[in-house]
Structure 1
Amino acid sequence: MTKELKLYINGEWVDSSNPETQDILNPANQEVIAKAPKATKEETEEAIKAAKAAFESGVWAGRTPQERAKVLLQIADKMEENLEELADLETMNNGKTKREALSDAEESVNTFRYYAALLNNPNGVTYEAAEDIQTMIVKEPMGVAGLIVPWNFPLLMSVWKIAPALATGNSIVLKPAEITPMTAVKVFELIDESDLPKGVANLLMGSGSVVGQTIAESHDVDVVSFTGSTGVGRGIMQAATGNLKKVNLELGGKSPNIIFEDADLETAVDYALFGIFMGSGQVCSSGSRVLVQDSIYDEFVEKYVARAKDIKVGPGNAEGSQMGAIVSGKHMESILEYIKIGKEEGANLALGGSRIERNGMEKGFFIEPTVFTNVSSDMRIVREEIFGPVVAIQRFKDEEEAIRVANDTEFGLAGAVFSKDHNKAMRVIKKVRAGITWVNAYHLTNVQAPWGGYKTSGIGRSISTNALEEYQETKQININMDPKPIQFFD
């Protein structure tokens, strides 16, 4: 039976006044698994109003850090009890494999616990600014946080925003992507069972042009955190200028993965596969540009293509599936169009390039692992974010050229270097203009490390202690320890 989803406003599950709904599909077979409401501008404003009222009442912001931590741990425990269901919903709604979805669910639990633990740390500093003047620097919640989540990591990206925003005492209005709301709804069902006061957390489903735009423009929203494309991020930033709200943007990428001739070839091939085909390439930090030194280029390509050919593509919940479905038919067509462009540009299609319509995948949105070789930096498949299982393998001669080619992009989210020469690896990775980098690895990260990019890949940082700063104001308080006339005008 198709599930009818509802909005969550001021602690209540409510129907939208808009009769129009969004069919939520399983991308592995196009089965309609739910119908989601499309919130109106008025309902979005109502949720923002509820969040603001809750914040100003102090019912959450006024609690001690220890009290807030207790609720965060409560939510984490409830999520852990429902780990399998969360993973199944993620797989069914997003198309990723069950093992990836389960990893995301486990990391989501860890994220809530991490921020609960941070609340026991000292917050702020004091110092003597002048004789008899004691200065305190304190951190305060900003107010209402608008959180806009992408479709590629519906669960984890929601939690990466919810946990630090709530930990710092803010109220929140969360908007999941239109096509992947299932795990966000489940998280809010668990939040509803917790001791979080009503009105502090609100959930709105609907279009970016209505819900997202209203959140970004609202003068009652104090900070907006958005993860998604660079183009939409620019629009969010422009809309936020009305009240000059704080903006956190985690945007696109076209990340370089540099393989030197002295790298351990098996390790480099293995991580280069993981770097692009994990999540079917629908990952902002994917290593979609693999730069390989001339002397090992042909050998690397041969090994890489052979390994990529063996990747088992299938429904995310099918046993043995290593790469799942593309999230939607629309996005699948966009990826296939880029593959067509690559062939027209003269790149060599070494593997894949087609939709998979066999072995029970006829109704799903599946694309073969796709490898382009002999590419150049002026090609669109090298310059533009495809956001799919498509990799471009490019040659370079020496260290200087590797750095130049790696940085020849508007993006700056991620990058990696593979080499047995530690000094060279460190020398090169320091010159790669990106916020998330690896040496002899790819994609490995944790909640303790800040996440974000340079250039058009965004502004600000998610997770780690840095995320707390994104949802806090800094205030100085100066205390006169010996009050008496200053006699400035005597």
Structure 2
Amino acid sequence: MFIDNRFTDAISGRWFPTDDPARGKPWAEVAAGGADDVDRAVVSAHRAFVDPAWSRMSASDRGVLLNRLADLIAGKSAALAEAETRDNGKLLAEMRGQMAYMPRWYRYYAGLADKIEGSVLPSDKPDMMAYTRLEPLGVVAAIVPWNSPLLLTAWKLAPALAAGNTVVIKPSEFTSTSITPFLELVREAGFPPGVVNAVTGTGAEVGAALVEHPLVRAVAFTGGEAAGMAIGAVTGRRFIPTTLELGGKSANIVFEDADVHRAANGIVGGIFAASGQTCVAGSRLVVHRSIAAEVVDRVLMIAKAARIGDPMDLSTQVGPVTTEQQLGKILRHIDDAKRAGAEVLLGGGRAVGGICEDGWFVQPTIFAGVDPGMRLAREEVFGPVLAVMLFDTEEEALSLANATDYGLAAGVWTRDLNRAHRMAGALQAGSIWVNTYRTSGPMAPFGGYKKSGIGREGGQLAIQQFLQQKAVWIDMGSEGPPPFVMKL
């Protein structure tokens, strides 16, 4: 763990194993933190928040530190990518690109750090001046999932620090090792002790204690719906700001005028990249009946040729899923879809042979004949499983796409610009991609509608979520306030 700029064991002295998903066996041990460790970290963060070394640091100097951290990440991006791949099984080819791009998040918020501005308000009282101040909240709990640990840490850490908060990071218990080399860079960048901390352990012990801690003044969480609901219940009771980025059941909508080759590539990338372990996975292919056969055939051709194997091999195109629990969940969803009458066009089970024998690999799987009422069409699988549904009209496509409790993302494939704008306006999702899929950047807000969460990460709005606004009134008149009544 990392507390007060020092790496430390858990107070209990306990450790737990973390697994290599490509080989299905432990490869490292992680400190098993508990409530006492959370208290150490939060107290350290609170002490740093009120310490002049951080609290009186200029916003420009906070930006300097974030830019320095970005430079250090850029210099170590290859090593960070290898750490991520070993720990969560994502393709090294993707993680290299992700880690090389990650510094842009820190640079974006470094640039915003000294753009946090209050304003002078137009007063209807000639002898009164009113203005606003934007101030940091305090200690922020950043709770991060296992599918993209360091990138999703950046989405929370960069704006929180730029706003002047201090942070305690809780990485997933399944992917806690890549945070260590990253925190070495945080310390090297020169952040004062206690500004950034990390406590490893389970959600039940560390996560719960962190959310409940009285000195934690905000929570930023990415993860599953059930955990998000539990966190929201606690933070609602505590009246502290919370951002929740939860699940998705995103639709890739292909119209009859789409570029089929381009759409097929986007469909495959949207569901089989990262083995489907992205919250924005395009797990529902909603395709116009007139071109459905052509689109599905091309998707099948690409998916059948996908190379499944060791994620450290740069030629691998489909790696393992990250946890054994997730493997079981995906296979249960596949079996349920078969029983419900969906037609298996590809895959439909666990991948075997070679490294797949021991690791947690699922075949790229495509189901046709999926009814909107099936679990496969309604529930998040978080794996490489695609459900194909057909439509005849634009209205029907929109109805199918919106017929879910989630609303994180959607893809629209069409050459008709007017249609693209209509769909972008009518789809109930936080990110809409037109003729592309699964792309992001620090300048764009990211978050969901409905059960996909509340709040946004990315963009200028994200930094506002780590600030509180204060109104200041100054009486410049000679008479002062009247007794017993409000001055209006």
TM-score range, shorter chain: over 0.9
Does 2:275 correspond to 1:280? yes
Deviation at 1:242, TM superposition (A): 3.8
Q: Distance in 2 between matches of 1:387 and 1:248?
A: 21
Aligned to 1:68: 62
Deviation at 1:19, TM superposition (A): 3.8
**Contact preservation (8 Å) 1:68, 1:116:** yes
Q: Distance in 2 between matches of 1:438 and 1:163?
A: 25
Letter in 1 for 2:173: E
Deviation at 1:487, TM superposition (A): 4.5
SS of corresponding position for 2:301: helix
Deviation at 1:483, TM superposition (A): 4.4
Q: Which of 8, 21, 39 lines up with 1:45 in the alignment?
A: 39
Deviation at 1:57, TM superposition (A): 2.2
- Pairing of 1:405-484 with structure 2 (within 5 A): 405-484=400-479
Deviation at 1:33, TM superposition (A): 2.6
Aligned to 1:14: 8
Deviation at 1:18, TM superposition (A): 2.5
> Percent of aligned positions with the same letter in both sequences?
36
Q: Which of 340, 350, 358 lines up with 2:353 in the alignment?
A: 358
Aligned to 1:3: none
Q: Distance in 1 between matches of 2:122 and 2:426?
A: 40
Deviation at 1:309, TM superposition (A): 0.6
Q: Mean alpha-carbon deviation: is it higher for 413-422 or for 130-139?
A: 130-139
SS of corresponding position for 2:349: coil
Letter in 2 for 1:12: R
Give the 4+ runs in structure 1 shifted more than 6 A.
none
Change in 2 beyond 3 A, CA 1:73/1:193: same
Letter in 1 for 2:270: G
Q: Which of 153, 156, 166 lines up with 1:158 in the alignment?
A: 153
Letter in 1 for 2:248: G
Deviation at 1:339, TM superposition (A): 0.7
- Pairing of 1:228-307 with structure 2 (within 5 A): 228-307=223-302
Letter in 2 for 1:400: E
Deviation at 1:211, TM superposition (A): 0.7
Aligned to 2:28: 34
SS of corresponding position for 2:169: strand
- Pairing of 1:349-388 with structure 2 (within 5 A): 349-388=344-383
Change in 2 beyond 3 A, CA 1:357/1:489: closer
Deviation at 1:353, TM superposition (A): 1.4
Q: Which of 91, 114, 121 lines up with 1:120 in the alignment?
A: 114
Q: Distance in 1 between matches of 2:282 and 2:478?
A: 61
CA-based RMSD: 1.4
SS of corresponding position for 2:102: helix
SS of corresponding position for 2:29: strand
Q: TM-score, normalised by structure 2?
A: 0.96
Q: Mean alpha-carbon deviation: is it higher for 90-99 or for 50-59?
A: 50-59
SS of corresponding position for 1:112: helix
Q: Mean alpha-carbon deviation: is it higher for 174-183 or for 50-59?
A: 50-59
Change in 2 beyond 3 A, CA 1:129/1:302: same
Deviation at 1:488, TM superposition (A): 6.4
Q: Distance in 2 between matches of 1:238 and 1:442?
A: 33
**Contact preservation (8 Å) 1:62, 1:169:** no
Q: Distance in 2 between matches of 1:241 and 1:217?
A: 11
- Pairing of 1:113-262 with structure 2 (within 5 A): 113-121=107-115, 123-130=117-124, 131-262=126-257
Aligned to 1:4: none
Q: TM-score, normalised by structure 1?
A: 0.96
Deviation at 1:133, TM superposition (A): 2.5
SS of corresponding position for 1:284: coil
- Pairing of 1:333-348 with structure 2 (within 5 A): 333-348=328-343
Q: Distance in 1 between matches of 2:50 and 2:175?
A: 31
SS of corresponding position for 1:59: helix
Q: Distance in 2 between matches of 1:82 and 1:301?
A: 41
Deviation at 1:400, TM superposition (A): 0.9
How many residue pairs get aligned? The number is 484
SS of corresponding position for 1:129: coil
Task: Extract unaligned runs of 5+ from structure 1.
Answer: 1-6
Letter in 1 for 2:278: V
SS of corresponding position for 1:349: strand
Task: Extract unaligned runs of 5+ from structure 2.
Answer: none
Deviation at 1:56, TM superposition (A): 2.0
**Contact preservation (8 Å) 1:416, 1:429:** no
Letter in 2 for 1:14: T
SS of corresponding position for 1:327: coil
Deviations 1:296-321 (A, max 9, x none): 11221111111111111111111311
Aligned to 1:57: 51
**Contact preservation (8 Å) 1:213, 1:239:** no
Q: Distance in 2 between matches of 1:434 and 1:168?
A: 27
Q: Distance in 2 between matches of 1:147 and 1:303?
A: 41
SS of corresponding position for 2:354: coil
